[in-house]
Amino acid sequence: MSAGPRSVLLAGGGTAGHVSPLLALADCLVRRDADVAVAALGTAAGLEARLVPARGYPLHEVPRVPFPRRPNAALVRLPKALRSAVAAAERAIDATGAEVVVGFGGFVAAPAYLAARRRGLPVVVHEQNARPGLANRLGARGAAAVGVTFPGTPLRGATLTGMPIRQEIAGLDRTALRAQAREHFGLADAPTVLVTGGSLGAARLNGAFETAGAALSAAGVQVLHVTGTGKSVDPGTTTGAAYRVVEYCDRMDLAYAAADLVVARAGANTVCELTAVGLPAVYVPLPIGNGEQRLNAATAVGAGGGLLVDDADVDPAWVEASVLPLARDAERLAAMSEAAASVGERDGDEKLADLVHRAAGAG
């Protein structure tokens, strides 16, 4: 392998789907070479504004430039806004001395790709979803390397790297940590469902489980419900198993270790973390976007490690009729766990770092 780069600029932000793999790659690059300088490009309003500095990496800000899907006033303003964002990305490249730019899609990535090309730097693209977004479709044209999370992602010349995931997840031994994890959340040794709808898609899941909480508790199924910041729920009086509500969980490794079953959206990062640790899941794709969440879950569902449920079907009656009996079926959950783990990848960060090293050497 060629010598690694001395400085890398990572571009991605807005949602955890972009920020989480960005941070996982940053950590991997630093593990490989403690002297490498890693910085990130992001917006002032996205999750990256908090998470990137908290992990110890400098964040260089660029203005948010959404790409309108239809003619409107934002489309008229796009050229000026894009020029401003590209200029900010160029300043970040100059300030960091970056030798390679790695983009993860979203509003931040397109200006970064354009700035890198103007500076003559190699670009590496990583696409999280099975169906790529506009920024990465553009960035992949002429990129030094393209990494994808799922097989069949339609980007020319792509390498299947899987998803870069955090080391605390990639190295998780759920069985060894189960007792500690359940104690951490105040849970007992009982069938446990983890419910999480992410930052954008929590409302329907929250409402369904809030109403069904008493029935789950009475049946001996305990719930760890991550509702999303500012979206707490109240399941009312529960007379049996525990129903724990947290708005934000900064120890998802322990949440995964505590759970026997997960009910979640099918964001790429979620799917990849659950399969990496071998967790059975009920995936409820968001009914917006370009249908990428349904495709994201396809491999896990096809292997038998998960179930796919339409958003419109999620209500309290569905929770009681479908989720409750599944959570109590230990034999079926064990088979699903094995199937999920069979398609899980734990070394996506290393594979993407390989692409970064090769691109830097070629550049």
pLDDT in tens, 195-234: 998 766 789 999 999 999 999 999 999 999 999 888 889 9
Q: Provide mean pLDDT across the span 48-71.
A: 82
Q: What is the pLDDT of residues 98-143, one digit of tens each?
A: 999 999 998 899 999 999 999 999 999 999 999 998 889 999 999 9
Residue of 54, 24, 52 lying closest to 40 (CA atoms)? 52
180 annotated ligand-binding residue: no
Is the pLDDT reported for residue 47 higher than 80? Answer: yes
Segment 88-105, tens digit of pLDDT:
999 999 999 999 999 999
pLDDT band at 78 (very low <50, low <70, confident <90, very high): low
Of the chain, the end-to-end C-alpha distance in Å amounts to 14
The candidate with the shortest Cα–Cα distance to 180, out of 280, 277, 279, 257, is 257
pLDDT in tens, 143-175: 999 999 999 999 999 999 999 999 999 999 999
What b/e sequence results for 150-165 when a residue is b if at least 16 CB atoms lie within 10 Å of its CB, and e otherwise?
beebebeebeebbbbb
Ranked by mean pLDDT, which of 196-205, 230-239, 263-272 comes out on top? 263-272
pTM: 0.89
Q: 137, 129, 157, 135: which is closest to 145 by C-alpha?
A: 157
% the chain with pLDDT above 90: 79
Predicted local distance difference test score (pLDDT) of residue 76: 45
The pLDDT of residue 325 is above 50 = yes
The amino acid present at 230, given as its one-letter code, is: G
Q: Is the dihedral of CA 348, 305, 203, 288 positive or negative?
A: positive
Contact 255, 174 (CB under 8 A): no
Is 157 labelled a binding residue?
no
Distance of alpha carbon 241 from alpha carbon 188, whole angstroms: 8
Contact in structure between 264 and 195 (CB atoms under 8 Å): yes
16 is in an annotated binding site: yes
Residue 74 has pLDDT above 80, yes or no: no
Whether 15 has a binding-site annotation, put simply, is yes
| Alpha carbon of residue 331 to chain centroid | 29
Is 136 labelled a binding residue?
Answer: no
Is-contact 350 31, C-beta < 8 A? Answer: no
- pLDDT of 66 reads 63
Cα 138 to chain centroid, rounded: 21
250/231 Cα distance (integer angstroms): 16
